[in-house]
Amino acid sequence: MSSHPLAGRTMSGAEMIVQVLADEGVDVVFGYSGGAILPTYDAIFVHNRDPKRRPIPLIVPANEQGAGFMAAGYARASGRVGVCVVTSGPGATNTVTPVRDSMADSIPIVVICGQVPSAAIGSDAFQEAPVSAIMGSVAKHIFLVTDPTRLEATMRTAFEIARTGRPGPVVIDIPKDVQNWSGTFHGHGRLPVPGYRSRLTQLEAHRLGERELGAFYAMLGESQRPLIYAGGGVINAEAAEALRAFAQAYQIPVVTTLMGIGAVDTTEAHAMRMLGMHGAAFANYAVDDCDFLIAVGARFDDRVAAVPLKFARGAKHIAHFDIDASEINKVKRVHWSYVGLLGDALVALTEYGRAHGFRRDWSKWHAHCAELKRVHAMNYDRASTLIQPYYLIEEINRLTRGEAIIATGVGQHQMWAAQYFDFKSPRLWLTSGSMGTMGFGLPAAIGAQFAHPSRLVIDIDGDASIRMNLGELETVTTYDLPIKVVVLNNFGDGMVKQWQKLFFKGRLSASDKSLHKKDFVKAAQADGFPWAQRLDRKEEVARVVADFIGFKGPAFLEVLIDPDAGVYPMVGPGQCYDEMITGEHIVSRGQGPTAPPDASEMF
């Protein structure tokens, strides 16, 4: 192993933290300062002014939650570890939501928290919080550094754990005295975590053997209607290219989860779009009709398989590829499974089929899927005089052609974006999937723009969701980021209102915000957006959207949409795909809901 050029140098703990960040290739950190993290912030300041070192810009948000979501947006868009640096107490607790959000969606971030001095821990000192106890239940791993001689190794191990295996957030809680301590920098070394590394070695060593491959192809050979069900694990594993090669080699249609969007090019003929609660009707019907379901990096969650026994009811066989053994048979029993690296497995699968001359004529199944897409296509009231959100997104999509990075908040606008945008590549779709965290979109877009400074980044948000982190509008203009922010304003919590109309007899309890006084355009202008407009006339959509997308700097567009626009299709909680509600404009082949959802299933 080559010696680190700084090995043997005496450094403070804070300087070691920053040097490890540099060694790990970190090119930006997001965070908010405070007393317990000041030594590290000072070390970043000094590092960035050393002409011999590559600077690590420190991006300051309005709130630590914003910093966490910026780090997550960076990680989602780049595939690299995002970094958030915050102070103790409220600084740390404000990052709990992005940490849990990242854990739920398997996103690699490292959160560095300042902590009160070691001697004060447990004394209810000023700005003290039990970070280990709080974060231990929501993070992939948590470190409390009490031995300063282990700080450097802890930092390196945190990055290793965050990015390897099933990715996730790692939190490092570092007392102020540990940051101020001085010791020898070694330039190498990690903590001994033998159990974790043993599992990783097993994962990396597991290759699909002849027997496993033969069993898989025996099922595939018997199939008349195979279907790939791809989830976020494909994106996280950088396995999209291998998945596309496998699907194209044998012309197998693909449905994706919300988190799997971009795993296949949505404009390709074999792409059947998103399945699930708000998936395309044709995607859900394809799942019902398939006889061999191939799940790759997907976990049969409740938004997809609300009734596991009736999910993929026509499938004679189900195969499941995942990196996490705990996901196999957790929700849905499968007939064949593989636990290991998805990319390697998919390559082996494709090569085995080619080597053995595997061929099948699935032309009838292809024709059936094409007919599903034609008959049960996404649609809406195109004659309405009001601005329909679907139309607005279609118009943006016409200009961006599936090549923009799209971040969203959570709610109706999130589902409309998933349904109506195209995505030609992975890591263009950034959304809070499992946690469903309102306020995610704007800070995630900021993180994505730092990951890809030259890409077009658009935040599709709702009036309720963007309020959660509205302060980050100023962060956009502070750093002169050319982010495009769209607020689809239907004056309230649109998804909640939709559920209340469907299942609570229209009682809009605490969800109607039509009396709120917020002027979003003035707020954006006050925060320095040079282009900020409100769009409320349908005939102006094409012109205004073209100006908005074409503007070279930060741009903000508020769109007053039809307040009664709904998200359809919709599979009610605890119901099956043949009970899907398709609304007035999407053709259904099912019977519709036979009974309202049980109250315990709601949301």
Catalytic residues: 64, 126-127, 176, 495
Cβ neighbours for 54, distance < 8 A, ≥ 6 positions apart: 22, 27
Nearest to 482 by CA among 462, 461, 457: 457
What token pair was written down for 153? Answer: 């190794």
Q: Residue 555 CA to chain centroid, in angstroms? A: 23
Cα–Cα distance for residue pair 31/87, rounded to 1 Å: 9
* DSSP letters for 354-417: HHTT-----HHHHHHHHHHHHHT-----TT-SSPPHHHHHHHHHHHHTT-SEEEE-SSHHHHHH
- Contact of 104 with 132, CB cutoff 8 Å: no
The DSSP 8-state label assigned to residue 469 in this structure reads: T
What token pair was written down for 3? Answer: 């010696």
Q: Coil, helix or strand for 446? A: helix
Taking the alpha carbons of 291, 297, 299, 305 in that order, is the dihedral positive or negative?
A: negative
- Contact of 287 with 275, CB cutoff 8 Å: yes
Cα–Cα distance for residue pair 503/598, rounded to 1 Å: 10
Return the H-helix or E-strand segment holding 229: strand 226-230
Strand 109-115 relative to strand 226-230, pairing:
unpaired
- Contact of 434 with 104, CB cutoff 8 Å: yes
Q: Coil, helix or strand for 58? A: strand
514: buried, middle or exposed (CB in 10 Å: 19+, 13-18, 0-12)? exposed
In 290-378, alpha helices (H):
342-355, 363-375
List of E strands, 453-562: 457-462, 484-489, 531-535, 555-560
Residues in the chain: 603
